[in-house]
């Protein structure tokens, strides 16, 4: 009310228009906030703070291109403002212009190198470009300048896991959880790293913790099922895979791994049903046809098994050793149609 009275008394005051915009923004009335920022800029076009604040307002509403235009207008007025460059970089990340982000960040670091958040932005951008070595370096620099930077610990852990550096990944992911407990993405990455280190038991414990925090999380159930299956806990694996499928009807990976778990329990009819569903959902994936062949083999449906194996090879399966050692396919050894598959694999490998 005081602001409106001040505006009535001085309708041409850019400062009051901006202050009123800030009030509306605090109270969540973003349209009125935008209106008063724009009125402020009509009265004082050279106000870089109003351009920056309006850019933030627009970015928070997902209007990144408009936000960028206001950040750029602000930088025309104050070209070496680190905060505006930081905001511009975030909007540019959202637009997917990663080379542009790198350019903005490097310019910002030339102004002031000691900016952990800018190094973090660089790390995020490099990781999205697949430049993992550069991402690791940037995240490490961010942590060096801000040791309790949980986002940098989390993302560094994720990138290290992608590089196969699982021990160090676990260290950073645990640090991220210490600083920011209960983060689902951090817990998921930690569970994945522990699985890769050969600890499916702890991995399963972490996935169960994730599911305590979010009960309707199909990927967590799927990964939990995988951790149970590796431990030989097939009934628990079946239950987890079925829950993943109930939550996400087209989850072909869960159908395939459900079939594997059911095979291990000698539930061949159910396994065949799940394997068939997987191939329907993802008909181009060669490994699904191997699972399907295993199910047919256990059902003594030899023609269907060979046909599924042929489909697997035609779709790109080329691991002759797996075929030779697969316990579900042992009785096919020496079978003419089975042996022909190795010729097909050899031809396929020569073509590639």
Instruction: Kindly report each contact of residues 122-129 with a partner whose C-beta sits within 8 Å and lies 24 or more positions away, as own/partner.
Output: 123/152, 123/155, 123/156, 123/159, 124/93, 124/155, 125/93, 125/98, 125/101, 126/102, 127/155, 127/158, 127/159, 128/93, 128/98, 129/98
Judge whether residue 51 has pLDDT over 60: yes
Model pTM score: 0.86
Per-residue pLDDT, 5: 59
Per-residue pLDDT, 228: 98
Q: What would the pLDDT profile of 22-33 be if each residue is shown by its tens digit?
A: 888 988 899 999
pLDDT band at residue 345 using 50, 70 and 90 as cut-offs: confident
Separation of alpha carbons 22 and 270, rounded Å: 61
Which residues have CB under 8 Å from 260's CB, separation 6+?
A: 229, 271, 291
Tokens 């790198």 -> residue: 102
The answer to whether 309 touches 323, Cβ cutoff 8 Å, is yes
Query: Average pLDDT over the chain, rounded to whole?
Result: 93
Task: Report residue 287: phi and psi, to 5°.
Answer: -65, -25
10 Å Cβ neighbour count for 229?
21
Lowest mean pLDDT among 37-51, 165-179, 224-238: 37-51
Q: What would the pLDDT profile of 159-216 be if each residue is shown by its tens digit?
A: 999 999 999 999 999 999 999 999 999 999 999 999 999 999 999 999 999 999 999 9
Judge whether residue 352 has pLDDT over 70: no
pLDDT band at residue 350 using 50, 70 and 90 as cut-offs: very low
Q: Average of pLDDT values for 245-260?
A: 98
- Say if residue 54 is exposed, middle or buried (CB neighbours under 10 Å; 0-12, 13-18, 19+): buried
Q: Average of pLDDT values for 63-70?
A: 96
Per-residue pLDDT, 33: 92
- Say if residue 99 is exposed, middle or buried (CB neighbours under 10 Å; 0-12, 13-18, 19+): exposed
Separation of alpha carbons 247 and 259, rounded Å: 18
Tokens 């370096």 -> residue: 137
Per-residue pLDDT, 351: 47
Lowest mean pLDDT among 180-194, 276-290, 294-308, 330-344: 330-344
Per-residue pLDDT, 3: 54
């Amino acid at each position: 009310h005081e602001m409106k009275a001040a505006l009535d008394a001085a309708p041409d005051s850019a400062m009051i228009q901006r202050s009123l915009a800030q009030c509306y923004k605090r109270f969540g009335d973003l349209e009125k906030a935008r209106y008063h920022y724009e009125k402020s800029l009509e009265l004082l076009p050279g106000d870089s703070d109003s351009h920056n604040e309006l850019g933030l307002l627009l970015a928070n509403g997902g209007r990144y291109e408009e936000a960028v235009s206001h950040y750029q207008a602000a930088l025309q007025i104050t070209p070496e403002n680190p905060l505006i460059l930081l905001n511009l970089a975030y909007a540019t990340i959202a637009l997917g212009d990663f080379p542009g982000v790198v350019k903005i960040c490097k310019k910002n670091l030339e102004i002031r190198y000691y900016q952990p958040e800018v190094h973090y932005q660089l790390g995020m951008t490099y990781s999205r470009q697949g430049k993992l070595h550069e991402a690791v370096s940037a995240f490490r620099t961010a942590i060096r300048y801000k040791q309790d930077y949980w986002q940098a610990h989390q993302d560094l852990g994720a990138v290290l896991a992608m590089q196969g550096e699982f021990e160090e990944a676990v260290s950073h992911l645990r640090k991220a959880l210490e600083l920011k407990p209960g983060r689902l993405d951090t817990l998921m990455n930690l569970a994945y790293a522990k699985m890769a280190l050969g600890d499916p038991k702890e991995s399963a414990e972490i996935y169960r913790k994730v599911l305590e925090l979010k009960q309707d999380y199909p990927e967590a159930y799927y990964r939990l099922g995988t951790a149970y299956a590796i431990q030989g806990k097939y009934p628990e694996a079946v239950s987890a895979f079925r829950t993943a499928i109930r939550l996400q009807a087209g989850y072909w990976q869960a159908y395939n791994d459900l079939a594997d778990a059911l095979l291990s329990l000698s539930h061949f009819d159910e396994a065949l049903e799940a394997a068939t569903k997987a191939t329907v959902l993802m008909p181009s994936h060669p490994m699904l046809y191997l699972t399907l062949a295993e199910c047919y083999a256990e059902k003594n449906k030899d023609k269907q098994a060979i046909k599924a194996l042929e489909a697997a090879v035609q779709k790109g399966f080329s691991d002759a050793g797996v075929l030779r050692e697969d316990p579900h396919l042992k009785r096919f050894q020496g079978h003419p149609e089975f042996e022909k598959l190795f010729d097909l694999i050899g031809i396929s490998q020569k073509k590639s």
